[in-house]
């Protein structure tokens, strides 16, 4: 973000979709987690609030990566009526990048595509660093907007031999079945108990507020990426499962306050010292999977630095391709 002048780059959603790849996202997210662990990048406190209008949640995630001189904020949230009433995505977000030397606005980047892409990349990073190398069966719980991104990212970064999936509405799983057919990977829609009993890696990507996976249902050696909507009250996993597993996250404070670990933390069965930042595993300053039979859990809460890293890549790719719009201000 060193371009001169007072203009602002505008990177539209269609540019992000056509120029930012999953490989870009994986590298950006993995590098960001490592920078967070080293202290070179800092997330600022999250603001997230119910609007009291349109049943919407709205908030800000921001931070500063000193290593890459990336400063900015993502503004957005969740409007549950959007798809039905306006035929637009329920999740809406925009990323603003600023010049860290002067504070001037440098880029406005569409965040609706980059957000699910970076979320899927985060779970893929966790699979790469925490799952057993011989993990063969991938389980997906949930079939919303995020699920296809999660499936594509997982298949791109690990050689799974089969995918099993569950959703409250089984019909919605057809999009996942189509992706598996495209990739030549066998797919089966299964009951939740069968998924837990057969999957080596499980990705949960729901808006649940009650446990979907109980401690006794998950077999030894499973890696779980808990990627569902993070807010107060969210829950996809049994707190007893969290208490018995090796725990990892992108941000410990968020995990314990708005993430999957909030319930186990509230009961006193885990504390901050029981959760390892995944950046420390990437940097090899902390151990990852303790042993083959351990259950590992990555709680992906989503941090502002991920969004800023993705926006930075989008700007780079758009400039390289000559498709960035420049607005004089």
- List, by residue number, the catalytic residues: 74
Q: Which two tokens stand for residue 72?
A: 């900015």
Residue keyed to tokens 């800092």: 42
Q: How far apart are CA 282 and CA 193, in angstroms?
A: 32
Q: Which two tokens stand for residue 16?
A: 């992000």
Are 251 and 303 within 8 A, CB to CB?
A: yes
Instruction: Produce one character per residue of 95-124: b if its CB has 16 or more CB atoms within 10 Å, e if not.
Output: bbbbbbeeeebbbbbbbbbbbbbbbbbbbb
Taking the CB of residue 271, how many other CB atoms lie within 10 A of it?
12
Handedness of CA 145, 92, 152, 125 (dihedral sign): negative
Q: How far apart are CA 147 and CA 298, in angstroms?
A: 17
Check residue 57 and give left, alpha or beta (phi > 0: left; psi -120 to 50: alpha): beta
Among 62, 63, 72, 67, CA closest to 35: 67
Query: Phi and psi at residue 121, in whole multiples of 5°?
Result: -65, -40
Q: How far apart are CA 159 and CA 95, in angstroms?
A: 33
Among 60, 95, 24, 110, CA closest to 323: 110
């Amino acid at each position: 973000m060193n371009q001169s002048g007072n203009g602002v780059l505008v990177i539209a959603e269609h540019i992000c979709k056509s120029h930012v790849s999953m490989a870009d996202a994986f590298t950006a997210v993995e590098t960001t987690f490592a920078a967070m662990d080293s202290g070179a990048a800092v997330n600022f406190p999250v603001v997230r609030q119910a609007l009291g209008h349109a049943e919407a949640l709205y908030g800000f995630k921001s931070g500063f990566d000193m290593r890459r001189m990336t400063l900015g904020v993502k503004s957005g949230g969740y409007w549950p009526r959007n798809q039905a009433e306006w035929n637009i995505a329920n999740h809406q977000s925009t990323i603003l990048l600023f010049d860290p030397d002067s504070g001037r606005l440098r880029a406005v980047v569409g965040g609706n595509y980059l957000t699910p892409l970076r979320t899927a990349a985060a779970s893929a990073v966790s699979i790469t660093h925490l799952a057993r190398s011989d993990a063969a069966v991938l389980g997906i719980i949930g079939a919303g907007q995020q699920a296809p991104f999660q499936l594509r990212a997982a298949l791109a970064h690990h050689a799974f031999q089969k995918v099993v999936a569950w959703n409250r509405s089984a019909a919605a799983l057809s999009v996942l079945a189509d992706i598996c057919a495209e990739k030549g990977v066998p797919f089966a829609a299964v009951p939740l108990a069968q998924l837990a009993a057969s999957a080596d890696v499980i990705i949960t990507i729901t808006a649940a507020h009650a446990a979907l996976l109980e401690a006794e249902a998950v077999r030894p050696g499973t890696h779980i990426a808990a990627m569902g909507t993070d807010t107060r009250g969210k829950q996809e996993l049994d707190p007893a499962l969290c208490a018995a597993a090796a725990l990892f996250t992108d941000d410990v404070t968020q995990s314990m306050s708005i993430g999957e670990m909030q319930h186990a933390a509230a009961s006193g069965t885990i504390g901050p010292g029981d959760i390892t930042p995944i950046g420390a595993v990437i940097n090899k300053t902390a151990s990852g999977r303790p042993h083959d039979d351990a259950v590992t859990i990555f709680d992906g809460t989503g941090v502002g630095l991920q969004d800023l890293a993705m926006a930075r890549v989008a700007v780079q790719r758009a400039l390289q391709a000559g498709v960035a719009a420049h607005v004089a201000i």
